[in-house]
Chains A and B, each alone.
Chain A
Amino acid sequence: DTAVSQTPKYLVTQMGNDKSIKCEQNLGHDTMYWYKQDSKKFLKIMFSYNNKELIINETVPNRFSPKSPDKAHLNLHINSLELGDSAVYFCASSYQAPTEAFFGQGTRLTVV
């Protein structure tokens, strides 16, 4: 059973389009995250949700909007995609405690 699953794994789209990445975890965790990994492999937190409530919202363009329908899901919607949005996006989950976070496989987004 996959613990944290993201779909799609690859996403190629044109500038200006709107796209979504879905994330689901079956670990019973109460906190979920989105991280962005740029072309230099640098990982940075974007958002964190605890029990469907937004608790971290780093400096991310308004075009990025997370949505958590329940505590097992955290989707990422991106409007008006730009070339600079090309990156690998990782979903992760953990307990609301400094335990290890489990990461999804990542979604490689390429904006052309």
Chain B
Amino acid sequence: AQKVTQAQTEISVVEKEDVTLDCVYETRDTTYYLFWYKQPPSGELVFLIRRNSFDEQNEISGRYSWNFQKSTSSFNFTITASQVVDSAVYFCALTPTNSGYALNFGKGTSLLVTP
């Protein structure tokens, strides 16, 4: 069975603060992929990152960074110097390398960045 837990339901920060969104996953598969998606208020789902289970290297993309730790089954997402435009619901997701690659989503974390 696979499960993704995003324990933070809602987070509110002031602009320019750093914020970390937590993601913990459970899977029995040895090979799997982890994703983060962003859903802004307009409703579309925007892909942010994909990471495979064999690649624990952290990644940085501009103000975004991701910390993948297999030992703790976590794939956390940090936004540095947050901006109002970062306000969105962020979803962490997991997919095995079989069964059609459908995404198992966490329940999402709603991030509100205020000026």
How many A-B contacts if CB must be within 8 Å? 58
Q: Which of B37, B44, B47, B101 has the most CB of A within 10 A?
A: B101
When the two chains form their complex, are residues B91 and A105 in contact, meaning their CB atoms are under 8 A apart?
no
How many angstroms between the C-alpha atoms of A88 and B39 in the bound complex?
A: 13
Q: Interface of A with B (CB < 8 Å)?
A: 31, 33, 35, 40-45, 48, 50, 55-56, 88, 90, 92, 94, 96-103, 105-106
Cβ-closest chain B residue relative to A56: B100
**Would A106 and B44 count as touching, CB distance under 8 A?**
yes
Kindly list chain B residues whose C-beta atoms are within 8 Å of the C-beta of A97: 101
**Complex CA–CA separation, A90 to B43 (angstroms):** 10
Given known A33-B102, A102-B47, A103-B44, contact A40–B52 (CB-CB < 8 A): no
25 pairs of residues in contact across A and B, judged by CB atoms under 8 Å:
A31-B100, A31-B101, A33-B102, A35-B103, A40-B107, A41-B89, A41-B110, A42-B108, A43-B91, A43-B103, A43-B108, A44-B105, A45-B104, A48-B100, A55-B100, A92-B45, A94-B101, A98-B52, A99-B50, A100-B35, A101-B103, A103-B37, A103-B44, A105-B43, A106-B43
- For this complex, into which size category does the number of interface residues on chain B fall? 20 to 34
Q: Is the interface of A mostly helix, strand, loop or mixed?
A: strand
